[in-house]
Amino acid sequence: MTTRPIDADLAGARAAVVERVTSALRSADSVLVSDSYIEAEFVAQVQRILAQTFSRLGLLLPSEPRQASRGAEVGEQRARQNVHPVDSLKAATLLFDEALSVLVHAVGHLVGNDEIARALNASIMGNVIPASVAYVNVLLERLAVAHSEERLGISRELHDRVAHSIAAGMQRVDLSGLSDPEGSAAQARLAEGMALFDGALDETRAIARDLRHFVGDKRLDEALDDYVADLDEAGPPVIVELDGQPFRLGTGTQEEAFIIVREAIHNARRHSDADSIVVRSTWRPESVLLSVRDDGHGFEHDRIRSGALGLVAAQERAELIGADLTIDPGPGVGTRVELTIPVQEAGL
């Protein structure tokens, strides 16, 4: 729209909107005006939204407001300041009501009321939506860090206490059977029990090792490389393939995707009887495709009990990051787990 001169006092209208909104927020004891720094940033954001509205209406702004943070930056700030999103949404609603009234009075003779409402709504939502996404990303980052710390704690407990107790129990059982005649029924039962103990010990150590691995400050492909390099020789070899140029995803997205792939690798090594496992990541501008493929015995979907192989948890994790998870095919031809992450949903 071509910018045209106006004879209304836009500066006065802007000041009136700021005063009415902040006054209403103080009356409501809003956290957005309870701290001088947060209030100053909020006022700058209101002024920025009004400037965008004036621009959409083709009106000249008398003077530029001080530089304000953009929507995504505001979302990050609010999350780190522990400002609840409800406070921000209430303020956005209040801003629309107060600004519409002031702007209709100030420039309604130049542009239509509907045009003012549309421009104001577009400016507000253009800031609210990216701020909301950024807010969620910060919370996901906090959640990922908390999960990482929790996993490390559980890993230490499994390795230092559970695995040690199993090993000590195996030693005592083994010693207690020395007096039984070789080849006796007691010796056979003892051998079976020791085999079960040995399997439980290996599984406990594997889980403890898995829990130590997470993405953290690395890229997803780097974390997968490190995890595969740390695997023991108890299962089939794992081959890592890379297609495309890797890039960082959002923290929460990376962590959830890593857990899905890690569990798929773990299941393939423990249950597929495969000769080899291939982990492939394909990086494209529009999506990231992660696949875990083995040449084992496969399984039939309709014979898998509810929650088996962590399928339910994996689906929930995929949904959390807006990704698609597929598991194919049937018995006798191996299993392929594919996770497709749309880049627009990846928190970039």
Rounded CA separation 44/42 (Å):
5
Q: Are residues 220 and 137 in the same domain?
A: no
229 and 100, same structural domain?
Answer: no
Is 228 in the same domain as 322? yes
pLDDT of residue 309: 47
Residue 95 pLDDT class (50, 70, 90 cuts):
very high
pLDDT class of 307 with cuts at 50, 70, 90: very low
The residue among 3 and 228 whose pLDDT is bigger is 228
pLDDT at residue 220 in the model = 92
Residue 189 inside a domain? The answer is no
Q: Which residues pair with 291 in a beta bridge?
A: 280, 338
Q: Mind listing the pLDDT tens digit for each residue in 120-154?
A: 989 988 887 777 766 666 666 666 665 665 555 66
Among residues 141, 172, 206, the one where a domain terminates is: 141
- Name residue 287's beta-bridge partners: 342
* Boundary residue ending a domain (110, 141, 172): 141
Note the pTM of the prediction, 2 decimals: 0.47
Do 224 and 121 lie in one domain? The reply is no
Q: In angstroms, rounded to a whole number, what is the distance separating the alpha carbons of residues 345 and 260?
A: 17
Question: Which of the four pLDDT bands, split at 50, 70 and 90, describes residue 107?
Answer: confident
Question: Residue 83 is part of which domain span?
Answer: 10-141
Tell me, yes or no, whether 45 lies in a domain: yes
Mean pLDDT across 242-249: 93
222 and 133 within one domain: no
Q: Are residues 111 and 227 in the same domain?
A: no
**Do 223 and 345 share a domain, yes or no?**
yes
In a domain, 148, yes or no: no
Q: Domain of 300: which CATH number?
A: 3.30.565.10
| Total length of the chain | 348
- Within-domain flag for 166: no
Domain count, the chain: 2
Q: Is 270 exposed, middle or buried (0-12, 13-18, 19+ CB in 10 A)?
A: middle
Q: For residue 72, tell me if it sits in a domain.
A: yes
Mean pLDDT of 40-56: 89
| Residue at a domain's end among 141, 156, 181 | 141
The answer to the question of residue 164 being in a domain is no
Helical residues (DSSP H) of 213-292, grouped into ranges: 220-229, 251-271
**Is 210 part of any domain?**
no
Confidence of residue 176 (pLDDT cuts 50, 70, 90): low
Residue 86, classified by CB atoms within 10 Å of its CB into exposed (0-12), middle (13-18) or buried (19+), is: exposed
Structure tokens at 57: 């209406």
